[in-house]
Chains A and B, each alone.
Chain A
Amino acid sequence: VSLVSCWCPGAGQDVGRSCILVSIAGKNVMLDCGMHMGYNDDRRFPDFSYITQNGRLTDFLDCVIISHFHLDHCGALPYFSEMVGYDGPIYMTHPTKAICPILLEDYRKITVDKKGETNFFTSQMIKDCMKKVVAVHLHQTVQVDEELEIKAYYAGHVLGAAMFQIKVGCESVVYTGDYNMTPDRHLGAAWIDKCRPDLLISESTYATTIRDSKRCRERDFLKKVHETVERGGKVLIPVFALGRAQELCILLETFWERMNLKAPIYFSTGLTEKANHYYKLFITWTNQKIRKTFVQRNMFEFKHIKAFDRAFADNPGPMVVFATPGMLHAGQSLQIFRKWAGNEKNMVIMPGYCVQGTVGHKILSGQRKLEMEGRQILEVKMQVEYMSFSAHADAKGIMQLIRQAEPRNVLLVHGEAKKMEFLKQKIEQEFHVSCYMPANGETTTILTNPCIPVDISLGLLKRETAIGPLPDAKKPKLMHGTLLMKDNSFRLVSPEQALKELGLAEHQLRFTCRVHIQDPRKEHETVLRVYNHLKGVLKDYSVQHLPDGSITVESILIQATAHSEDQGTKVLLVSWTYQDEELGSYLTSLLKKGLPQSTP
């Protein structure tokens, strides 16, 4: 019996700050290292002090795995590796490694810009952190050390997102990160093989929801943009540098092409160039349709979308502008918003959630008179729209993944307690596996039954098959042999081979017992009497009288001597090997009863 234990400094029943610690067969792995965007203080990062209690981080943790580039999964990484002091290996997929620093840098710039914070990671720290990252390919088994191995599976959700299998010996855990079981416009669906892990750690964002088709939301989005542009208005779409922005760009680009629209679409900041570059570079990670059309036309080479210049915001006429940051809390997007807010013809579309305190949050909650810096009041007359495009697995998708992977236990994270409770019951009912949903800071321990693979020597195998039926994978068979444990490997060999390999001599263990018999005759006569008696009683056994005067019954040896003090008593020395324990004991008890008088 072995243990897999797992605790969440910041992912259990909470959206934001994904960070899970898994201990499996003595190895400690941190899964994701996310931040919470809703806080500006220490609370934005997971509380690592609970891990540092166990000594130096680098010594305690065997590796860190990042599932994808979203900040709630990787935002605390530079803090963790460069400020808290973790110096060990970090694993992520190639696209995540390429894109992660862009988002971290984007977020750093916004944070430092807005708050003038100094106690935050720097660009150099982000770079130093990324240099520690080992990039992995899908389905590549990566050996972290001699015992620990990890393997990435496609997760959909965003470019480069992966689920990870963590394996030590025969024990394994699968961590899904965020995933999506239905393909979308540019990504495919998550997939995993039937790996039967001891534990599946799954996100449960949409634990109770069956999501409608994303197509409807996309149609709705295009309709709104189109209407605004048609009536001569301007559309502002605040986005983060990468992710949703590219998805929406593809949408608009194809729509513009189809409808032959002329209004300009701009993308602010130079970040998009690099972002689109990565989408091109990692074309194999996108869905089939994009890959197929790639030969004729690369989806990410936009004809209609052009780089934005600060002066364009004042141009008359309709236009669509993607601007960072995504929550309207600083910089370019906020500046454009201020310019356009007063005109009811214009529209702002928020394609994602905004944290409390930001202008984005305020306008989404319906506030129309905003106090800006310098105590000015900004009246918002433009239309405000919210669009959800997030790509998580819904309840159906989560169940589907469990069906695929066939885990022995399930642990739900990254969701709301109430919704998770519902899903937990459903999982337990349908799959008859235990399902856990630990709160932040809570440890879940799972017992596993490790099966230990053992190599069998050919000789032993041949011998065994000679006796019994041929080996059959479906019918487990018991085999006997000597187990050799050497250099971390286990081998079952025949006892003779074991002796040979280990250079040991064979010793025989014999049980002996003395039985006293009253018989005044000479010793050889007593022996003869015993022989005749046994031959009579043990008809099915081979009883022999040997020339040296001893008797054997099978392998059991009987010798007689006269008692040193009393010549009338003969001592029978019975000796047997442990294999013949039963017969030996029986013989002894038989002899103890004495010899029949009538024997001649």
Chain B
Amino acid sequence: MTRECALLLPGVCAALADPRQPGLDDTCLEKLLDWFRSLTWFDPTVELVQDNPCLPELITSVLALPEPSPSILSFTLQLAGILASSETRFQHLQEEKLLGRLFGREGPRGGAAWEEASVRSAWVKGVHSMVHHQPALHFLCTMGGMDVIFALQGDPSLFVASAASQLLVHMLTFSLESETSKPLSTKDCDWPACAQMIIKHIEESLQSSSASHIEQSLKLLTSLFGSCFGSCYAAWTEVLWLDIANQIESFLLEDTVKAQHVLANLLLNVARSPVFCGTEGSFWALVTSALEHLTPLQAGPLAVGLLKLCKCPQDVRIQALTVLLQPMDCILRAASQPLEYAGLLDESVSDPVTVESLLSSKTSCAGLLCQTLAHLEKLLSLKHLRVDLPCVSLLRSLMTILQFCNGFLSPTSPLGSTISRNLINCFRVQKSALDVLAALSEKKGCDTLIGSLFDVLLAYLQSPNTSPTVLKKTFQATSKWLVHLQELSCSNSQWQQTEKILEDVFLVLQKRLCSPCWEVRDSSLEFLTAMVKCLRDQKEFRQSLLSSEVLRLTENLLEDPESYVRASAVTAVGHLALITYCAPESPVIGNPYNKENTVAKLQEILSTDSEGFPRRAVISIFTKWLREGSGQLEDTEQFVSRVIQTVEHDLDWEVRLGGLELVEVFCSQTICQLSPCPYAPVSSAVSSPTPQNELLQVFCRAKLFGFLFRSLCDCDKPVGQRACDVLIGLRGHFYPMSTLENPQEIEDSPAGRGIAWLQRTLRQGSLAQNFPTDGGDGVDFQDPESMMLALGAIDLLELHDELNKSSNHVEESPQSLLQDILATMGTIEDNEVDCY
């Protein structure tokens, strides 16, 4: 704690304890606790209590209040807990007899204040902070604290209940790992008292007839096995598990407990714990039985979790996969004529009738499918899946689902027609299926179905019934599969199919670009950009694109009334430019779009558009062009100069930031172009200006330095930081390390005075009104010599540090917090509600 803070603290404590003061904003109290927490965290031995007697005094005076406000009481409980987290501070507070009055029987529990959820929550948090040493554990066990915690597990407030459960996990783990020296093999009287109490409580609750008690204990066990991987290595977790395994099994089989999803979570967490990584044993039998007995909806999360595990017996894995594939299998069977497709599975884990009935019911059909599809998507995203996914059948069943949803498939089987009735127009299922479809595009072996897949996708793209959100997903899936299609046609030379598909895609895209709904126009443009990014090198793609109306329509959208659409149009036009007239190959003949036109249009947007998104899009496209372009340096120089003059006055700092990025790219490219190749033979005749000078001249002509130096003083910090980075980069080029060793030398030079003044000005921060403009006595940003000196003289590294500190150090410093609390007390009226 700094001296300033230590001086402010007594005043703050006195103010907090004063009941006449109006309540403080809760965030202040929370931040104050954060500060104490960080103080004790970084230095557990810090003597806060002895050094700051105002702290125990604060606790004493709050306890003396007849009716402390819930917020100040909650604060005090948490503060005491944090202070008591070390043994010495705990003893100090004990000597003052404070802890018993807070956390013991004389404390707020049972009183009127206990009615407040915030007080109960603070009590639990306080205890949690405190339990980091044995005396605290002992204190709780003897003061009847354990029963309170047990009871709070069933608190009406979810937050309190969950915090109580977490606290028990913490206490059990802490007690077992700190109080026992020898490894515990079987549960006996060796176990520490606190651990015994908790375990007895768990066992009793599991055997009780109360469903809520059982559920609480299951949740506690779940977080015990799930949260502390470290302690799960300990043998005691295995002992504990063996003790309760039978009980868990009976819950699974008896079906009397209505907390099946908690059971599934518990089993998954136990499976993840390293103790049970062996593939033998009764545990995996229990898991298998769970996969069989839980309903497909309950077993789904368990199955997908098991498939992610590295160590899991293969037969369990296969069974888990089967659980996930069952609904997809059922869909295939329901859709097919008898014996057309064999379905996905040879045998199922649970009775297929269960899945059939779930899919037949209107209420559960979409839910089961969405969950299954989400799990499958997760599996497809895994790098190492240790079982084979039947991708072809999966794709077929996905297509079937999508066809059910848009009514394109009317199966004859009664089950099929029921499912298709349930699914028609179901956006949720459509979106989930399209997500899986997109993920499946990266898997091999689905090539035979690709034609019919595009039929389905195109049907979705064309249908007026497709909702904008579904359309967006369809676009995403389509662009992924188009990439796959291209790869495929490269290998088997079936260009015709590809051309036909692309033609259809562009036809539908033309229609969608004119949609009255901005979401659709925007998604269409995003789709177009995604396609261009992936397929720009493909001849068929370029041909289909240029023969369509898409280019013209996209340019029209640069004037869209919706700014999001304008921005996407800018991005799309920018990418299209790269394959039409910026491409190194000869531009396509008859193309009515030329570069000058486009550049002019984009520049107009940059200088006149009233909204930030399109302007930001323009500047990032310009940067992209510059990165990829091969234009002449002179053109580029003028271009960059024009752009930064526009950007400099932009009100959106992200546009200015984009401008700096453009400058950075321009600088590095120019340096590359003008610097001599280090391996080139050195010419003896030095008639032309040195590369360094030429560089400086280019930069000055492009008016880079004015922009960069002014940006250092920008009112928005990221701009200043970026400008500083660019300048540091430039200095590195113009002043190799060796020449910068003695900056004094430069300062003393005749031109140095002006530069030193600039430096002072810059150091003073964002005093932009004092900053010189060209001419007058100010710095001439276009003079190469001054700029060279400026680069050398300004301490950019120090400036960089200063800018990086961010304004947060004022806002988040404890001193500022304490000052604010002191200033606020008694001065601010009750105006918090005006926040919004």
Hey, which bits of chain A sit against chain B, CB under 8 A?
A: 7, 14-16, 36-40, 43, 47, 50, 54-56, 58-59, 70-73, 87-89, 105, 109, 112-116, 123, 127, 130-132, 146, 178, 205-206, 268-270, 273-274, 309-310, 313-314, 329-332, 334-335, 338-339, 351-353, 355-358, 361-362, 364-367, 371-374, 376, 386, 388-390, 392, 417, 439-443
**Alpha-carbon distance A39/B811, docked complex (angstroms):** 11
Q: Are A365 and B367 interface neighbours, CB within 8 A? A: no
**Alpha-carbon distance A132/B519, docked complex (angstroms):** 9
Q: Are A310 and B611 interface neighbours, CB within 8 A? A: no
Interface of B is mostly: helix
Q: Are B833 and A206 interface neighbours, CB within 8 A? A: yes
Q: Are A442 and B157 interface neighbours, CB within 8 A? A: yes
Query: Is B295 at the interface (CB under 8 A from chain A)?
Result: no
* B439 CB, nearest partner CB in chain A, Å: 15
Given contacts A335-B715, A441-B159, contact A16 B812 (CB under 8 A): no
Query: Is B221 at the interface (CB under 8 A from chain A)?
Result: no
What is the number of residues of chain B that contact chain A, defined by CB distance less than 8 Å?
80
**In the complex, which residue of chain A has the Cβ closest to the Cβ of B805?**
A373
Query: Using Cβ atoms and an 8 Å threshold, which residues of chain A touch B117?
Result: 439-442
Given contacts A56-B374, A113-B716, contact A274 B611 (CB under 8 A): yes
17 contacts between A and B (CB under 8 A): A15-B833, A38-B26, A38-B27, A109-B654, A116-B806, A131-B468, A131-B472, A331-B715, A338-B766, A356-B31, A361-B824, A362-B816, A365-B824, A365-B827, A373-B805, A440-B117, A440-B157
**In the complex, which residue of chain B has the Cβ closest to the Cβ of A445?**
B156
Q: Are B718 and A38 interface neighbours, CB within 8 A? A: no
**Alpha-carbon distance A374/B810, docked complex (angstroms):** 10
Query: Is B243 at the interface (CB under 8 A from chain A)?
Result: no
* A110 CB, nearest partner CB in chain B, Å: 9
Query: Using Cβ atoms and an 8 Å threshold, which residues of chain A touch B36?
Result: none
Q: Are B835 and A353 interface neighbours, CB within 8 A? A: yes
Q: Are B156 and A274 interface neighbours, CB within 8 A? A: no
Q: Are B564 and A443 interface neighbours, CB within 8 A? A: no
Q: Are B428 and A439 interface neighbours, CB within 8 A? A: no
Task: Give the contacts of B451-476 with A (CB-CB under 8 A).
Answer: 468-469, 472
| 4 cross-chain pairs, A with B, having the tightest CB-CB distances, nearest first | A441-B159, A38-B27, A439-B117, A365-B823
Q: Are A352 and B563 interface neighbours, CB within 8 A? A: no
Q: Are A366 and B613 interface neighbours, CB within 8 A? A: no
**In the complex, which residue of chain A has the Cβ closest to the Cβ of B119?**
A439
Which one of B28, B802, B831 has the greatest number of beta carbons of chain A within 10 Å?
A: B831
Query: Using Cβ atoms and an 8 Å threshold, which residues of chain B touch A7?
Result: 158
Task: Give the contacts of B254-301 with A (CB-CB under 8 A).
Answer: 261, 301
Listed stretches B56-64, B75-83, B382-390, B645-653; interface member: B645-653
Q: Are B31 and A441 interface neighbours, CB within 8 A? A: no
**Alpha-carbon distance A43/B29, docked complex (angstroms):** 14
Q: Are B27 and A39 interface neighbours, CB within 8 A? A: yes
Q: Are A367 and B823 interface neighbours, CB within 8 A? A: yes
Query: Is B612 at the interface (CB under 8 A from chain A)?
Result: yes
**Alpha-carbon distance A355/B835, docked complex (angstroms):** 8
Query: Is B807 at the interface (CB under 8 A from chain A)?
Result: yes
**Alpha-carbon distance A269/B653, docked complex (angstroms):** 10
User: Among B522, B653, B717, B763, which residue has its beta carbon within 8 angstroms of that of A131?
Assistant: B522
Task: Give the contacts of B758-790 with A (CB-CB under 8 A).
Answer: 763-766, 768-769
* A143 CB, nearest partner CB in chain B, Å: 12
Q: Are B651 and A390 interface neighbours, CB within 8 A? A: no
**Alpha-carbon distance A441/B158, docked complex (angstroms):** 5
**Alpha-carbon distance A398/B691, docked complex (angstroms):** 76
Q: Are B835 and A115 interface neighbours, CB within 8 A? A: no
Which one of B159, B362, B651 has the greatest number of beta carbons of chain A within 10 Å?
A: B651
Query: Using Cβ atoms and an 8 Å threshold, which residues of chain A touch B367?
Result: 59
**Alpha-carbon distance A338/B612, docked complex (angstroms):** 26
Contact with A along B35-70 (1 / 0, CB 8 A): 000000000000000000000000000000000001
* B86 CB, nearest partner CB in chain A, Å: 25
Q: Are A55 and B261 interface neighbours, CB within 8 A? A: yes
* A239 CB, nearest partner CB in chain B, Å: 12
Query: Using Cβ atoms and an 8 Å threshold, which residues of chain B touch A330?
Result: 716-717, 807
Query: Using Cβ atoms and an 8 Å threshold, which residues of chain A touch B160?
Result: 441
* A599 CB, nearest partner CB in chain B, Å: 65
Q: Are B651 and A205 interface neighbours, CB within 8 A? A: no
Q: Are A72 and B159 interface neighbours, CB within 8 A? A: no
Q: Are A355 and B27 interface neighbours, CB within 8 A? A: yes
Query: Using Cβ atoms and an 8 Å threshold, which residues of chain A touch B811?
Result: 329, 357-358
Query: Using Cβ atoms and an 8 Å threshold, which residues of chain B touch A362?
Result: 816, 819-820, 823
Query: Using Cβ atoms and an 8 Å threshold, which residues of chain A touch B157?
Result: 439-442
* B551 CB, nearest partner CB in chain A, Å: 24
Query: Is B234 at the interface (CB under 8 A from chain A)?
Result: no
Query: Using Cβ atoms and an 8 Å threshold, which residues of chain B touch A309?
Result: 649
Q: Are B820 and A361 interface neighbours, CB within 8 A? A: yes
Given contacts A270-B610, A270-B612, A442-B158, contact A116 B816 (CB under 8 A): no
Query: Is B507 at the interface (CB under 8 A from chain A)?
Result: no
Instruction: Known A-B contacts: A116-B721, A314-B769, A376-B764. Give 5 more (CB < 8 A).
Output: A58-B374, A270-B612, A270-B652, A274-B611, A365-B824
Query: Using Cβ atoms and an 8 Å threshold, which residues of chain B touch A88?
Result: 428
Which one of A55, A146, A309 has the greatest number of beta carbons of chain B within 10 Å?
A: A55
Query: Using Cβ atoms and an 8 Å threshold, which residues of chain A touch B301?
Result: 55
Q: Are B27 and A353 interface neighbours, CB within 8 A? A: no
Q: Are B25 and A356 interface neighbours, CB within 8 A? A: yes
* B546 CB, nearest partner CB in chain A, Å: 28
User: Among A50, A127, A439, which residue has its beta carbon within 8 angstroms of that of B116?
Assistant: A439
Q: Are A357 and B715 interface neighbours, CB within 8 A? A: no
**Alpha-carbon distance A595/B262, docked complex (angstroms):** 72
Query: Using Cβ atoms and an 8 Å threshold, which residues of chain B touch A273?
Result: 610
Query: Is B679 at the interface (CB under 8 A from chain A)?
Result: no
Given contacts A15-B833, A205-B833, A270-B652, contact A365 B820 (CB under 8 A): yes
**Alpha-carbon distance A328/B304, docked complex (angstroms):** 49
**In the complex, which residue of chain B has the Cβ closest to the Cβ of A205?**
B833
* A377 CB, nearest partner CB in chain B, Å: 11
**In the complex, which residue of chain A has the Cβ closest to the Cβ of B161?**
A441
Q: Are B28 and A356 interface neighbours, CB within 8 A? A: yes
Given contacts A59-B367, A439-B118, contact A72 B27 (CB under 8 A): no
Query: Using Cβ atoms and an 8 Å threshold, which residues of chain A touch B261?
Result: 54-55
**Alpha-carbon distance A109/B362, docked complex (angstroms):** 45
Query: Using Cβ atoms and an 8 Å threshold, which residues of chain B touch A206?
Result: 833
Q: Are B717 and A132 interface neighbours, CB within 8 A? A: no
Query: Is B146 at the interface (CB under 8 A from chain A)?
Result: no
**Alpha-carbon distance A14/B370, docked complex (angstroms):** 35
Query: Using Cβ atoms and an 8 Å threshold, which residues of chain B touch A331?
Result: 653, 715-716
**Alpha-carbon distance A268/B769, docked complex (angstroms):** 17
Q: Are B611 and A367 interface neighbours, CB within 8 A? A: no
Query: Using Cβ atoms and an 8 Å threshold, which residues of chain A touch B833?
Result: 15, 205-206, 353, 390, 392
**In the complex, which residue of chain A has the Cβ closest to the Cβ of B825?**
A365
Query: Using Cβ atoms and an 8 Å threshold, which residues of chain B touch A71?
Result: 836
Q: Are B25 and A417 interface neighbours, CB within 8 A? A: no
Query: Is B523 at the interface (CB under 8 A from chain A)?
Result: yes
**Alpha-carbon distance A365/B766, docked complex (angstroms):** 25
Query: Is B672 at the interface (CB under 8 A from chain A)?
Result: no
**Alpha-carbon distance A55/B31, docked complex (angstroms):** 33
**Alpha-carbon distance A578/B572, docked complex (angstroms):** 80
Given contacts A123-B613, A352-B836, contact A443 B523 (CB under 8 A): no
Given contacts A114-B808, A269-B651, A365-B827, contact A131 B519 (CB under 8 A): yes
Query: Using Cβ atoms and an 8 Å threshold, which residues of chain B touch A36?
Result: 27
Q: Are B836 and A70 interface neighbours, CB within 8 A? A: yes
Query: Is B817 at the interface (CB under 8 A from chain A)?
Result: yes
Q: Are B806 and A270 interface neighbours, CB within 8 A? A: no
Query: Is B748 at the interface (CB under 8 A from chain A)?
Result: no
**Alpha-carbon distance A450/B256, docked complex (angstroms):** 29
Q: Are B715 and A87 interface neighbours, CB within 8 A? A: no
Query: Using Cβ atoms and an 8 Å threshold, which residues of chain B touch A47?
Result: 159
Query: Using Cβ atoms and an 8 Å threshold, which residues of chain A touch B566?
Result: none
**Alpha-carbon distance A569/B610, docked complex (angstroms):** 110
**In the complex, which residue of chain B has the Cβ closest to the Cβ of A355?**
B27
Query: Using Cβ atoms and an 8 Å threshold, which residues of chain B touch A314?
Result: 769
Q: Are A40 and B823 interface neighbours, CB within 8 A? A: no
